[in-house]
Amino acid sequence: MKTAEDFQNGQILLIDKPLHWTSFQAVNKMKWALKSKLGLKKIKIGHAGTLDPLATGLLLVCTGKFTKRITELQGQAKEYTGTFYIGATTPSYDLETEIDQTFPTEHIDEALIEETVKQFLGEIDQKPPIFSAIKKDGVRLYEHARAGETIEIATRKTTIHEFEITRIALPEVDFKVVCSKGTYIRSLAYDFGKAMNSGSHLTALRRTKIGDYDVTDAMDVTLFEQSLAPQL
């Protein structure tokens, strides 16, 4: 059973973020639990890499002195699994927004899908989604998007170390990706569909690894709260 001193000295906590939660909500609930259960007046706590509300999976949460390691942890390779829906796009590249365009899929077969995967291996140029938290001119991109503004977004270099198709059941395609920091899987979904002369958007996403940390070792936020011994 970890003590208040343990958390102040520094812990790396593996959390399995639930669907529809923001990463901030998960960290905030843990901070509240540490303060209320262990009687801590102050505790440094932060996560090493945001997960979208529509994604689940591994969130690394650092406490106390280990918050200094957040930048190092953010730089590690990340593994994701999920599903692309082929034949339609959305403005957010995922299920946050409604389908805005549909595309033909009759020409798409397993051979084309596997050939297209090869185009995305290694270093690629990727444009972040307009519905993202990146700031342009001091305003987050999703705020521009929700205001209906058209914004020019610069491409970024990112690296796809591994990209494997694990199931083909059109219009759905399941995948596993290992990628560098800053990769948007939503953008990968959009670009993947475009590369097949069609469209695509992300319908499910789960982060399974960050470096050597694995989601199989992670716990639910509620279980974390229950694991804390109340301060006597």
Positions annotated as catalytic residues are: 52
Q: Tokens representing 225?
A: 């709260």
CA distance 163 to 174: 11
Contacts 24+ apart (CB under 8 A), 216-219: 217/14, 218/14, 218/15, 218/16, 218/57, 218/58, 218/59, 219/13, 219/14, 219/15, 219/16
Q: Is 222 exposed, middle or buried (0-12, 13-18, 19+ CB in 10 A)?
A: exposed
Containing 79, the helix (H) or strand (E) segment is strand 78-86
